Chain A
Amino acid sequence: MSRGASPLSALGALVRTTAFKLSFAYLLVFALFAFVALGYVAWNAQRLLSDQFTSTIDAEINGLAEQYRMGGLRRLVNIVERRSRAPGASLYLVTTGTGEKIAGNVGALPSGVIDQPGQFETDYARTEDTDAPPSHALVRVYLLPGGFRLLVGRDMEESARLRDVIRRAFGYSLLFIGVLGCGGAWFITRRVLKRIDDMTETTRVIMAGDLSGRVKVAGTGDELDRLANNLNNMLERIDELMNGMREVSDNIAHDLKTPLTRMRNKADEALRLAKTPDELRVALEANIEESDNLIRIFNALLMIARLEAGNAREGLSDFDGAEAVRDVAELYEALAEDAGVPLDVQVQDDLPLHGSRELLGQAVANLLDNALKYGAPAEGETAQPITVTARRDGGDMEIIVADSGAGIPEAERSHVLERFVRLETARSRPGFGLGLSLAAAVARLHGGLLRLEDNAPGLRAVLVLPLRKMPDQPPVPALSA
């Protein structure tokens, strides 16, 4: 948390933390709750006590008044004196009509108290210890027939003690809640915030450029762990993408440098060696051809980039996949025949797709290009036909272009789908290593994939594309990278 700053700013930092704010809020709520609960208990106990006092006093008054009625003043005084001597909280006083004390254990009373009948609280002093500070009592004054006054009361000491107990309990519970709250805050700060701070620290390292940093996972499986796991997965993916980008740009740099250098050298050579305008012309034409190739590479690269960015999605429409494949196959049929490799085309009817007929056509054309280029039989062997199959496979359309050439070793198959990757054996032939990448990107745009399989011998390239759901419910192509 604190980064070794001054204690005051560390406190400020603590106050700003979520843990502190949360703890403080909970502390307040619990304190309020304790206050309400204890207050309710205290109020009830107090009321119960005073009810009890009242009824005791009433009973005694009634009893004493009865005695007075039966035995006169003498008897009342006797009983009062006897009871007054007994230890306890009960107070008794019998006075004349003018307030002269006849019997009882109450000494000083505020003036006028004894003159008003009824029940009230008052200060008083006991007769036996006049030095003691005046106490508080609940009393009832009763007018006896004959003008005498009878006061019966109850010292409130007990009630005050109860109040004290409750007040102390309240204090203790506040203290307890405070300690508990602070402890909780400390725990959260240490345990939870520490982990969040770890994450913050990791992201800072990553922002500084080191992508290898990973968030620590505590292994408790809680939400913070899930967050940490997701963050780590995200970082993994970003790392992968970054590496992919780096690889691609390295490849681009390399593969574009080669034809550029060749172009430059040819121009240089022509300038130095060409003697006639015709020779210069030939060199210039060769240069134009090379730059056309470069333009083609750039166009293919841009197209792949656009497809992968998902920008091409706007121009998609419904079309017949069977017809698209037939058209491209027909386009290549003549070329294949001339090359001595017949095309064997088998296309099922009714293969509705949603996407781009253009792009699908280009993808199939690329596969056919490849098959014609690399699928030629070895010297002296009879040419096996290249088969082009389009068929329904469950909810998907499968377009299979299979040749009987050298094929692609299994270990290389996923690799050749990347941009600019060409097998060593293919380096000597024309091409840029973008055809399969483009076909794969087209497949992904349609929510499908390009699979390379062994045709034993040869290569079987399978474009799997989800068919359009009938009636007119185009599948939403998922961009899976």
Chain B
Amino acid sequence: MAMRILIIEDDREAASYLVKAFREAGHVADHAADGLDGYAMAEAGDYDVLVVDRMLPKLDGLSLIRSLREQKIETPVLILSALGQVDDRVKGLRAGGDDYLPKPYAFSELLARVEVLSRRRAAAPSAEATVYRIADLELDRLSHRVTRSGQEIVLQPREFRLLEYLMKNANQVVTRTMLLEHVWDYHFDPQTNVIDVHVSRLRAKIDKGFDKPLIHTIRGAGYTVRVGQGEGEE
């Protein structure tokens, strides 16, 4: 599903890199070079996600987001920031941003987050469904029960949250950082392969003994839950 993405970034080189990379990933990307242009385009165009740099000429990123929210424009916003300080994330989210990524970042990380944001918007009501289903795997968020082909699978609480997040964003790539953020509520860069170990344990419980694996590793990016082979599958 192609997304319409607006990139509001004053650094031309970074912006053209992003526009190109998003187009290669099959999306439609526009660019605004300052806060006022960005605001006008975001207000007029129907975008799925806005990628907003925090420091912009004419109108800074946080004010732009605040103004959009006051106009009841609820397009998901991902904030890019060179600051990356502890309270920056909090300030950004408080201003109405939906996600936050400190510079420098890997494009795969940005892409995964933008896709998750846009999907969340498209499928907002069903995301709050009480039961997630993919193929023969079922996760009941209320009773905390997980079954595959009718067989109950016993998960640790953390494993349950991990699977819940993966299934909520089924068919999309989620990165290790995103998992650390949403499952453990920590926002640092996992230096070692801590996340991988947890995912492989979960995978052992979910996929072992079944023909079709559901948890896939996406090389250089992260993980995804979906039916069938993933591209770049290892």
Give the interface centre of B85, B185, B191 by most chain A CB atoms within 10 Å.
B191
* Candidates A292, A335, A356, A361; contact of B192 at CB < 8 Å: A335
Q: Is the CB of A362 within 8 A of B184?
A: no
A301 to B193, alpha carbons, bound, how many Å? Answer: 21
Given A285-B220, A331-B184, 16 other A-B residues pairs in contact with their CB atoms under 8 A: A298-B104, A312-B86, A314-B86, A315-B90, A327-B186, A331-B198, A358-B187, A358-B188, A362-B186, A362-B188, A365-B188, A366-B191, A369-B191, A369-B192, A372-B192, A435-B191
Q: Is the CB of B186 within 8 A of A312?
A: no
Q: A312-B85, A372-B192 are in contact. Are A334 and B186 (CB under 8 A)?
A: no
Contact residues of B with A, CB < 8 Å? Answer: 84-88, 90, 102, 104, 106, 158, 180, 184-194, 197-198, 201, 220
A315 to B192, alpha carbons, bound, how many Å? Answer: 26
Q: What are the residues of chain A within 8 A of B180 when measuring CB–CB?
A: 331
A-B contact pairs, 6 of them (CB 8 A): A292-B106, A315-B90, A335-B193, A358-B86, A358-B188, A369-B191
* Nearest B residue to A289, CB-CB: B220
Q: What are the residues of chain A within 8 A of B192 when measuring CB–CB?
A: 335, 369, 372
Give the interface centre of A298, A306, A334, A358 by most chain B CB atoms within 10 Å.
A334
A288 to B220, alpha carbons, bound, how many Å? Answer: 10
Q: Is the CB of A314 within 8 A of B184?
A: no
Q: Is the CB of B198 within 8 A of A334?
A: yes
A172 to B193, alpha carbons, bound, how many Å? Answer: 95
A361 to B181, alpha carbons, bound, how many Å? Answer: 12
Q: What are the residues of chain A within 8 A of B158 when measuring CB–CB?
A: 330
Number of chain A residues close to chain B: CB under 8 A: 32
Q: What are the residues of chain A within 8 A of B194 when measuring CB–CB?
A: 331-332, 334-335, 365
A331 to B102, alpha carbons, bound, how many Å? Answer: 23
- A356-372, CB < 8 A from B: 356, 358-359, 361-362, 365-366, 369, 372
Asked whether A55 is an interface residue with its Cβ less than 8 Å from the other chain, the reply is no
Q: What are the residues of chain B within 8 A of A306 when measuring CB–CB?
A: 85
Q: Is the CB of A334 within 8 A of B201?
A: yes
Q: A314-B87, A315-B85 are in contact. Are A296 and B186 (CB under 8 A)?
A: no
Q: Is the CB of B188 within 8 A of A361?
A: yes
Q: What are the residues of chain A within 8 A of B197 when measuring CB–CB?
A: 334-335, 338
Q: What are the residues of chain B within 8 A of A338 when measuring CB–CB?
A: 197
Q: Is the CB of B186 within 8 A of A299?
A: no
Per-residue CB proximity of A298-312 to B under 8 Å, as 1/0? 110011001000011
A298 shortest CB reach to chain B, Å:
8
Q: Is the CB of B90 within 8 A of A296?
A: no
Q: What are the residues of chain A within 8 A of B190 when measuring CB–CB?
A: 365
B34 shortest CB reach to chain A, Å:
26
Asked whether A256 is an interface residue with its Cβ less than 8 Å from the other chain, the reply is no
* Nearest A residue to B219, CB-CB: A285
* Nearest B residue to A315, CB-CB: B87
A337 shortest CB reach to chain B, Å:
8
Q: Is the CB of A327 within 8 A of B85?
A: no
- A269-298, CB < 8 A from B: 285, 288, 292, 295-296, 298
Q: Is the CB of A327 within 8 A of B191?
A: no
A327 shortest CB reach to chain B, Å:
6
Q: Is the CB of B191 within 8 A of A296?
A: yes
Q: What are the residues of chain A within 8 A of B191 when measuring CB–CB?
A: 296, 365-366, 369, 435
Q: What are the residues of chain A within 8 A of B104 when measuring CB–CB?
A: 295, 298
* Candidates A312, A315, A327, A366; contact of B184 at CB < 8 Å: A327
- A365-384, CB < 8 A from B: 365-366, 369, 372
B158 shortest CB reach to chain A, Å:
6
Q: Is the CB of A311 within 8 A of B85?
A: yes
Q: What are the residues of chain B within 8 A of A303 when measuring CB–CB?
A: 84
B149 shortest CB reach to chain A, Å:
26
A422 shortest CB reach to chain B, Å:
15
Q: A296-B191, A331-B194, A362-B186 are in contact. Are A356 and B86 (CB under 8 A)?
A: yes
B201 shortest CB reach to chain A, Å:
6
Shortest Cβ-Cβ A-B pairs, 8 listed: A315-B87, A315-B86, A334-B197, A362-B188, A335-B197, A312-B86, A295-B104, A361-B186
A332 to B188, alpha carbons, bound, how many Å? Answer: 14
A129 shortest CB reach to chain B, Å:
107
B5 shortest CB reach to chain A, Å:
23
